[in-house]
Structure 1
Amino acid sequence: MAALEKLQIKLCEMQRWVQQSDQRGVIVFEGRDTAGKGGAINCFTQVLNPRFCRAVALPKPNERERTQWYFQRYVAELPAAGEILLFDRSWYNRAGVEKVMGFCTDSEYKRFLEQTPVFEKMLVDDGILLLKYWFSVDQEEQEARFAERMENPM
């Protein structure tokens, strides 16, 4: 049996456990562009029951969201009992993209670094199973994948 099939079986078992025990699961996918986050999420969602599992990729915050507590829009997406949520990128955007691109101030960035461990502890203390994965490729592979996307966007 291929490694992917074994993982998919384990995911189905996890989903069944989450449903039967009224647990809540959050799986965070972070990483470099082209590292395979979306592909991994697709492999997961192919075998999971969509009534109890969903993937969320939040767009850039709108004007209203920019005035709210940073984590608020993520809290709104959190799963109910028996559900699994897959975040295609997450609150960690603030530490990477937003900081590098100048989309947050130094004080917002500092506050993020202080609040993130507290926020995640709140999730776990409330019973959410929080799994976080980092995907990476080296620069040469990333450039090759970007070139492939330019030639074949689909």
Structure 2
Amino acid sequence: MIFTSFWSKPLPTGMIRIGISRGSPRWMKPGPRIPELAPGSSWFYTATDPEEFRSAYVGQLACVDVSETLDRIERIAQGRPAVLTCFCRPGAVNFCHRSWVSVWLAHRARLDVPEFGMEDAGSGASHPLLPIEYRRASSEPVPLAQLPLF
């Protein structure tokens, strides 16, 4: 199982954090990372609205091989639940790139990747940290062609 979460979220023993942020917390022992899933340096600090961010990040994800990424997650996790982490704390931000990772994995690999501790809120196009203008109810079927995601 794969989840998303933030660095300071307490996790049960047996889960493994995999960093997908541009860096990792100084207060935490360095661990595995997948830097290809971190937001790009050329636009991360300049994207001023959710659409600009979405466009840049989705373009970045289009260049990442989902099968290789899943193989890497599997090798790192070694059978344990993997938690793709960054700094954004739910409620403190309006959206986070890890929600787009959930959408990307839903579309490219047919995986449900919910926010850890908020599993009932949905995953993919219903991930709770997806910008509200892109979010869909988990019970609402949305054809892929209607989502401006990938």
With the shorter chain as reference, the TM-score category is under 0.3
TM-score normalized with structure 1 length: 0.26
**Would you tell me which structure has more helix in proportion to its own residues?**
1
TM-score normalized with structure 2 length: 0.26
**Would you tell me which structure has more strand in proportion to its own residues?**
1
